[in-house]
């Protein structure tokens, strides 16, 4: 039957998600039409379909150990010349994203894998397009800001058409009334 390609990410909520997706399309990045706006926790990973129940159990356990945390995006950055990517920076919530992605990719778990580059939470706004358009994306969104409370993450599958589709959402355990805190390795115990 072959493998399927999965990814795990935190969705950027509305109206921010649509705005950033429209900006990305406007810069000429056609792939944006097939990719929901997100912060990656697990990049595209090929798995056997029979592993899906084990993967979903693994992700549910991570969500049960997590708590909602503040996310804030501000300004732009780039991975150029290493990688042709311009992004909006995660300026709050990054350590919580790091904590989550380490657990998603746990060496003992069903999604164990090494990353090509060190983990750096971000929201891609241009990828693999003309350099002048990459420069325009970086300049145009240099003052962009958005904030929300991350209440979970989701599992996506890439279809044969290249589009990423939501498969299942995993909500964090609700924190005590009136409190939220960032989950980091130090606060996870």
The CATH number that applies at residue 94 is 3.90.1140.10
- Distances 159 to 6, 66, 148, 151 between C-alpha atoms, Å: 10, 29, 29, 26
Q: Is 117 helix (H, G, I), strand (E, B) or coil?
A: coil
Q: Is 40 helix (H, G, I), strand (E, B) or coil?
A: strand
| Assigned domain for 139 exists | yes
Question: Average pLDDT for residues 131-144, to the nearest whole number?
Answer: 96
| Assigned domain for 95 exists | yes
Q: Note the pTM of the prediction, 2 decimals.
A: 0.88
- Distances 50 to 98, 160, 175 between C-alpha atoms, Å: 28, 18, 33
pLDDT category, 185, cuts 50, 70, 90? Answer: very low
| Assigned domain for 187 exists | no
Q: What is the pLDDT of residues 65-120, one digit of tens each?
A: 999 999 999 999 999 888 999 999 999 999 999 999 999 999 999 999 999 889 99
Q: What is the pLDDT of residues 163-174, one digit of tens each?
A: 999 999 999 986
| Assigned domain for 111 exists | yes
| Assigned domain for 131 exists | yes
- Residue 18's domain spans which residues? 4-171
Strands 122-127, 145-150: parallel, antiparallel or unpaired by DSSP? unpaired
Number of structural domains found in the chain: 1
């Amino acid at each position: 039957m072959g493998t399927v390609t999965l990814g795990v990410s935190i969705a950027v909520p509305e109206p921010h998600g649509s705005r950033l997706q429209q900006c990305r399309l406007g810069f000429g990045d056609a792939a944006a039409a097939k990719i929901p706006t997100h912060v990656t926790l697990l990049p595209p990973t090929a798995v056997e379909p029979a592993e899906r129940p084990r993967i979903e159990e693994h992700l549910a356990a991570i969500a049960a150990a997590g708590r909602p945390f503040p996310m804030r995006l501000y300004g732009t950055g780039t991975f150029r010349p290493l990688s042709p990517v311009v992004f909006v920076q995660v300026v709050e919530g990054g350590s919580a994203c790091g904590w989550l992605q380490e657990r998603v990719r746990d060496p003992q778990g069903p999604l164990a894998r090494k990353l090509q580059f060190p983990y750096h939470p971000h929201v891609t706004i241009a990828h693999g397009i003309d350099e002048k358009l990459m420069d325009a994306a970086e300049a145009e969104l240099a003052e962009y800001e958005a904030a929300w409370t991350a209440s979970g993450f989701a599992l996506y599958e890439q279809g044969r058409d290249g589009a990423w589709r939501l498969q299942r959402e995993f909500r964090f355990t609700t924190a005590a009334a009136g409190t939220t805190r960032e989950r980091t390795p130090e606060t996870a115990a």
